[in-house]
């Protein structure tokens, strides 16, 4: 994210999202841009890196904090920030007017074990989407998550017994930094066994910070809500 550029919004933000979303960002200062930041992204195609990356969005602030704990490196911590605070215009210009993004749902699991990536972070489950941003809207971007995608997210949480999960979002945001760190630490302490990236993913894992418990649902439950085109993607 480059230093602020002109935007016609009174609030000064380029990006507005509905509902509220979160991203992970870390400082990556440049000689001419000391406040330059990079956001956590995923490759659009792991086998073809030339296609570039998509921005990772989180509906759950706790999931974002937990992911940040694993993605951070010494001296390069990731910070959880509201998506509206991030300026995605550089990414959009690099992709020909498209904002590619991934909506976080939870984590990959195999027979009750969390799947770890080769570099040490948790393997995530996402929905991939693309927003076409016309030149006239580049400085006032409105991202509205599809109703079907929100229903899909709610369905997977409810299948895990997490019916009041949005109330948990509010509780996490109300905590001070120390208390949030303690909650993340508890989630890590309560983690089940872990397995390698080449394990067969057959479950979707989610964490309930209120009960301090991990929950698993069959991966087919997640897949069953996908349209035919997405199943092939």
pLDDT in tens, 204-219: 999 999 999 999 999 9
pLDDT at 35: 82
At 98, the pLDDT band (50, 70, 90 cuts) reads very high
Q: Which residues contact 9 (CB under 8 A, 6 or more apart)?
A: 16, 139, 140
Q: Tell me the average pLDDT of the chain.
A: 92
pTM over 0.75? The answer is yes
Q: Report whether 18 contacts 145 (CB < 8 A).
A: yes
Q: Return the closest-CA partner of residue 79 out of 67, 68, 63.
A: 68
What distances in angstroms separate CA 109 from CA 54, 72, 74, 102, 222, one per listed residue?
Answer: 23, 21, 27, 19, 12
Q: How far apart are the first and last CA of the chain?
A: 29
Three-class secondary structure of residue 149 per DSSP: helix
Share of the chain above pLDDT 90, in %: 78
For residue range 155-209, list pLDDT tens digits in order: 999 999 999 999 999 999 999 999 999 999 999 999 999 999 999 999 999 999 9
Q: Tell me 175's DSSP state.
A: S
Question: Is residue 233 scored above 60 in pLDDT?
Answer: no
pLDDT at 8: 64
Given its phi and psi angles, is residue 87 left (phi above 0), alpha (psi -120 to 50 degrees) or beta?
beta
**pLDDT average, residue stretch 35-47:** 89
């Amino acid at each position: 994210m480059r230093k602020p550029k002109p935007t016609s919004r009174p609030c000064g933000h380029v990006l507005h999202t509905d509902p509220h979303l979160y991203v992970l960002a870390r400082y990556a200062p440049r000689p001419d841009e000391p406040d330059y930041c990079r956001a956590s992204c995923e490759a659009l195609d792991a086998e073809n890196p030339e296609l570039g990356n998509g921005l990772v969005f989180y509906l759950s602030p706790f999931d974002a904090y937990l992911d940040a704990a694993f993605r951070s490196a010494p001296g390069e911590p990731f910070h959880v920030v509201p998506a509206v605070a991030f300026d995605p215009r550089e990414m959009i210009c690099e992709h020909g007017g498209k904002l590619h993004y991934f909506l976080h749902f939870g984590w990959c699991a195999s027979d009750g074990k969390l799947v770890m990536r080769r570099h040490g972070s948790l393997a995530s489950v996402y929905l991939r989407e693309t927003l076409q941003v016309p030149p006239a809207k580049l400085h006032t971007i409105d991202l509205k998550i599809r109703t079907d995608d929100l229903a899909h997210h709610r369905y997977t949480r409810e299948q895990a017994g997490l019916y009041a999960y949005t109330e948990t979002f509010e509780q996490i945001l109300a905590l001070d930094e120390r208390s949030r760190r303690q909650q993340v630490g508890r989630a890590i302490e309560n983690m089940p066994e872990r397995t390698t990236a080449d394990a067969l993913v057959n479950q979707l894992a989610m964490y309930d910070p209120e009960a301090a418990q991990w929950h698993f649902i069959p991966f087919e439950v997640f897949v069953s809500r996908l349209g035919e085109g997405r199943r092939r993607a």
